[in-house]
Amino acid sequence: MNEQTPNDAVRRKVFSPARLGSLNLRNRVIKTATYEGMSPGGVPSDALIRHHRELAAGGVGMTTVAYCAVSPNGRTFEAQMYMRDAILPKLRALTEAVHTEGAAVSIQLGHCGYFSRNTTLPRRCSLGPSFRLNEYGLMSGVPFTRAMTEADIAQVIDEFGTAAAMAVSAGFDALELHLGHGYLLSQFLCPATNRRRDMWGGSLENRMRLPLTVLRRVRERVGAGFPILCKTNLRDGFRGGLELDESVKIAQALEREGVDAIVLSGGFTSRTPFYLFRGARPIKEMIEVEHNPFQKLSLRFFGNRIIREYPFKEMFFLEDARAVRRAVRVPLVLLGGVLSVDNLETAMREGFDFVAMGRALIADPDLINRMQQGEATRSRCISCNKCVAEMDRNGVRCVL
């Protein structure tokens, strides 16, 4: 008799097809967005296409092209990719390459808000919910952030809609809106960075207004059936930032708006960057790849103090993510320190619909095929985080 153990059933679930909105994925593993550093001059390169093709060939259900700004002003730095007609042919080549390997492909759309070193910004001033010193751009000549006007807000909402429509025309199967990690929409959600007293700030309802309006606009532009994921923070990771009680309510609001899945993450890049990934801080390597002499100096002298360390633990967002799981029925993507078949199975047992992996797949792009064939049970990633520095050297890669 062919008896099926519960483990077999759970493992089969990970590696069987699943629906994400109207999209059929060949399995439940998503390569999460990890900035590739492969778009010189903001134009997707052949290396970027090869990178995602390799991930697709390695077995993931869906890969995600990382941070694409919705407009020139939404770039963290000048050489970053932003959505425009000129890059559509390259993006089409990328989506076709991924499809040839049998995977789906999503693109992460975001706006950096105040978190910018982009010196082409008008008056070298970044945009944010409220006026502030821009600690991230201070040394790069973008020292201040001005509070967005109604016209700025309307423009950003339009930019998200237009960028989303362009992504669909480039052949992407899904979109991921970046509501986390301290980028613009996360800055509006965060009580510490949104000090507005109008309808865009104050109560949680008001702080959610911009992200939800963006989601609605994107929905209008891409149509009812098109899969939209939102990447959100469980916690920002600092006092005064977003905490779990509010992030649960945000997930409930996104569910009411009809989002297709929520990717649960955390951390605020300008304040708690290593809350996002946990593990070692590759300060020496970060100094090596830093071009700005002032940033280099400040990293050398204050790096260990500015960049707080968070110990790595497998599935480090699981505990917080459970609270969201209990509160919503919308598909949830568990992320953060997922390294092994055991971790994938735990995610399924805990009721998550998909699992996202970043560093494990940078280290082993073919991990999912090998896990499925029983040739591997875990990634060789050791959370050294040197891939974080590599993205600014010659493109993201594992140094092992």
Ligand X SMILES: Cc1cc2nc3c(=O)[nH]c(=O)nc-3n(C[C@H](O)[C@H](O)[C@H](O)COP(=O)(O)O)c2cc1C
Work out whether 235 is an interface residue with ligand X (CB under 6 A).
Answer: no
Work out whether 181 is an interface residue with ligand X (CB under 6 A).
Answer: yes
Work out whether 265 is an interface residue with ligand X (CB under 6 A).
Answer: yes
Q: Which of 281, 391, 395, 398 binds ligand X (CB under 6 A)?
A: 391
Among 33, 28, 27, CA closest to 351: 28
Residue 51, C-beta contacts closer than 8 angstroms, at least 6 positions apart: 36, 38, 395, 396
The piece of 139-147, 233-241, 303-311, 386-394 that touches ligand X (CB under 6 A) is 386-394
Q: Which of 359, 368, 379, 395 binds ligand X (CB under 6 A)?
A: 359
The piece of 3-11, 28-36, 92-100, 296-304 that touches ligand X (CB under 6 A) is 28-36
Work out whether 336 is an interface residue with ligand X (CB under 6 A).
Answer: yes
Q: Is 36 left (phi over 0), alpha (psi -120 to 50) or beta?
A: alpha
How far apart are the C-alpha atoms of 120 and 63, rounded to whole Å? 31
Task: Closer to ligand X by CB, 170 or 335: give it.
Answer: 335
Work out whether 108 is an interface residue with ligand X (CB under 6 A).
Answer: yes
The piece of 152-160, 301-309, 325-333, 387-395 that touches ligand X (CB under 6 A) is 387-395
Residue 356, C-beta contacts closer than 8 angstroms, at least 6 positions apart: 29, 30, 31, 32, 263, 333, 334, 335, 338
Distances (CA, A) of 56 to 110, 129, 230, 361: 23, 38, 21, 11
Task: Closer to ligand X by CB, 347 or 391: give it.
Answer: 391
Work out whether 250 is an interface residue with ligand X (CB under 6 A).
Answer: no
Shortest separation between residue 34's beta carbon and ligand X, angstroms: 4
Q: Which of 66, 87, 170, 286 binds ligand X (CB under 6 A)?
A: 66
Work out whether 388 is an interface residue with ligand X (CB under 6 A).
Answer: yes
Phi, psi of 300 (to 5 degrees): -65, -45
Shortest separation between residue 3's beta carbon and ligand X, angstroms: 34
Active site residue 183: yes
- The H or E element that residue 11 is part of is helix 6-14
Task: Closer to ligand X by CB, 146 or 181: give it.
Answer: 181
Shortest separation between residue 343's beta carbon and ligand X, angstroms: 10
Which residue is catalytic, options 67, 82, 114, 183?
183
* Burial 258-285, CB ≥16 within 10 A → b, else e: ebbbbbbbbbbbbbbbbbbbbbbbbbeb
How far apart are the C-alpha atoms of 268 and 180, rounded to whole Å? 7
The piece of 186-194, 254-262, 282-290, 336-344 that touches ligand X (CB under 6 A) is 336-344
Work out whether 20 is an interface residue with ligand X (CB under 6 A).
Answer: no
How far apart are the C-alpha atoms of 259 and 244, rounded to whole Å? 19
Work out whether 276 is an interface residue with ligand X (CB under 6 A).
Answer: yes
Work out whether 273 is an interface residue with ligand X (CB under 6 A).
Answer: no
Among 254, 255, 277, CA closest to 265: 277
Residue in the block written with tokens 């697709």: 56
The piece of 114-122, 218-226, 288-296, 385-393 that touches ligand X (CB under 6 A) is 385-393
Shortest separation between residue 159's beta carbon and ligand X, angstroms: 18
How far apart are the C-alpha atoms of 333 and 351, rounded to whole Å? 10
Residue 245, C-beta contacts closer than 8 angstroms, at least 6 positions apart: none
Work out whether 83 is an interface residue with ligand X (CB under 6 A).
Answer: no
User: Widest CA span of the chain, in angstroms?
Assistant: 74
How buried is residue 374: exposed, middle or buried, by Cβ count under 10 Å (0-12/13-18/19+)? exposed
Q: Which residue is closest to ligand X by CB? A: 358
Task: Closer to ligand X by CB, 128 or 267: give it.
Answer: 267
Shortest separation between residue 279's beta carbon and ligand X, angstroms: 8
So which residues are the catalytic ones? 183
Q: Which residues sit at the interface with ligand X, rule CB under 6 A?
A: 32-35, 66-67, 108, 178, 181, 231, 265, 276-277, 335-338, 357-360, 387-388, 391, 396
